[in-house]
């Protein structure tokens, strides 16, 4: 099983920080943003730090090809605004270059949002953008993430993903990232995940799945909301998520947790603790811990 979570990447410690954090959770992979997820301010990559991080990965059984980078969510390839579209294309090209420098081979991207335009126009803008970004024989595979369908989000149905994929010239440099919360919120019943997987295989191809985000959801099937919940605490439930993680067809695909940090109580926004060490433990044991949230609070309060 290849499992990890979202971790930090700081400007002064870069991947070294990410690896340290992943190890502290008992993970054998991780996902990071090269800067804040909400903005596009990025620092140069420091090669000494990268070398150190790669050495740490080797010593801790973290296979670098399973490590995932996530592009910030404010780039938007679906937009009709030429300046924003060009900015997004250039940013993603630079992000691919940063991944190359960091020796990271997987980059997750949200397809984009069709603001003030039709879905079809948005999808065509995404295709045009991707055809300007994707290069043959790239070391970095761009993974489009399945979305919840919040607002005007593109990529919330398999049909939309297939439409994008069918119109991409450089198919060898792209793949997909499934997100269980997004799938649930877009109307896919995770208790019938195998049916979805078969359909994905029929329309696209199962070996195009390069990453899976494992999240529970705060909202009901088809809610189009996109609010992640801790593993086993939401509407998808522990058993259904375990069946995704342990699906034999997805054995070699990295599973990444993006579940919310836990406060002292539900209203506490000040002291927040990462849930990942505990969630990874539960997943490894295949046993739901009904005291999950309290155990997390107690662990970090003692530190
Ligand atoms: Fe994402
Ligand atoms: Fe996600
Ligand atoms: Zn999400």
At 181-211, the pLDDT tens digits run: 999 999 999 999 999 999 999 999 999 999 9
User: How far apart are the CA of 186 and the centre of ligand 1, in A?
Assistant: 14
Average of per-residue pLDDT values in the chain: 97
User: How far apart are the CA of 2 and the centre of ligand 3, in A?
Assistant: 20
User: How far apart are the CA of 145 and the centre of ligand 1, in A?
Assistant: 6
Q: What is the DSSP letter of 235?
A: S
User: How far apart are the CA of 215 and the centre of ligand 1, in A?
Assistant: 11
Single out the residue of 179, 176, 139 nearest to residue 6, CA to CA. Answer: 179
Q: How many domains is the chain partitioned into structurally?
A: 1
User: How far apart are the CA of 180 and the centre of ligand 2, in A?
Assistant: 8
pTM, rounded to two decimals? 0.97
**How far is it, in rounded angstroms, from Cα 108 to Cα 24?**
23
Beta strand spans in the chain (E) = 3-6, 29-32, 68-70, 106-109, 141-145, 174-179, 209-214, 216-217, 228-229, 255-257, 262-263, 272-273
pLDDT more than 90, % of the chain: 96
CATH classification of the domain holding 121: 3.20.20.150
User: How far apart are the CA of 97 and the centre of ligand 1, in A?
Assistant: 20
Quick check: 267 pLDDT over 80? no
Structural domain including 270 reads 3-301
**How far is it, in rounded angstroms, from Cα 249 to Cα 172?**
20
Q: Is 34 exposed, middle or buried (0-12, 13-18, 19+ CB in 10 A)?
A: buried
* Ligand nearest to the Cα of 179, by number: 2
Quick check: 303 pLDDT over 90? no
User: How far apart are the CA of 98 and the centre of ligand 1, in A?
Assistant: 18
User: What is the pLDDT confidence band of residue 266, given thresholds at 50, 70 and 90?
Assistant: confident
User: How far apart are the CA of 110 and the centre of ligand 1, in A?
Assistant: 6
């Amino acid at each position: 099983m290849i499992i990890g979570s979202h971790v930090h990447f700081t400007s002064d410690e870069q991947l070294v920080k990410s690896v340290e954090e992943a190890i502290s959770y008992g993970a054998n992979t991780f996902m990071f943003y090269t800067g804040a997820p909400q903005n596009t301010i990025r620092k140069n990559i420091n090669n000494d730090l990268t070398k150190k991080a790669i050495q740490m990965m080797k010593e801790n059984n973290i296979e670098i090809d399973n490590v995932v980078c996530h592009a910030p969510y404010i780039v938007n390839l679906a937009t009709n605004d030429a300046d924003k579209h060009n900015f997004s294309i250039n940013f993603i090209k630079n992000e691919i270059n940063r991944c190359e420098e960091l020796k990271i081979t997987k980059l997750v991207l949200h397809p984009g949002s069709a603001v003030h335009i039709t879905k079809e126009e948005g999808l065509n803008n995404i295709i045009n953008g991707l055809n300007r970004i994707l290069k043959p024989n790239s070391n970095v595979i761009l993974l489009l993430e399945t979305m919840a369908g919040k607002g005007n989000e593109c990529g919330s149905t398999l049909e939309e993903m297939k439409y994008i994929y069918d119109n991409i010239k450089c198919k060898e440099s792209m793949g997909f990232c499934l997100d269980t919360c997004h799938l649930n919120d877009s109307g896919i019943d995770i208790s019938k995940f195998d049916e979805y997987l078969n359909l994905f295989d029929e329309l696209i191809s199962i070996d195009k799945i390069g990453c899976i985000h494992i999240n529970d959801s705060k909202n009901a099937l088809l809610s189009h909301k996109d609010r992640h919940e801790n593993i086993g605490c939401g509407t998808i439930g522990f058993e259904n998520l375990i069946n995704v993680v342990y699906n034999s067809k997805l054995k070699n695909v990295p599973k990444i947790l993006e579940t919310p940090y836990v406060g002292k109580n539900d209203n506490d926004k000040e002291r927040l603790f990462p849930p990942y060490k505990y969630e990874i433990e539960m997943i490894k044991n295949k046993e739901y811990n009904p005291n999950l949230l309290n155990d997390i609070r107690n662990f970090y309060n003692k530190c």
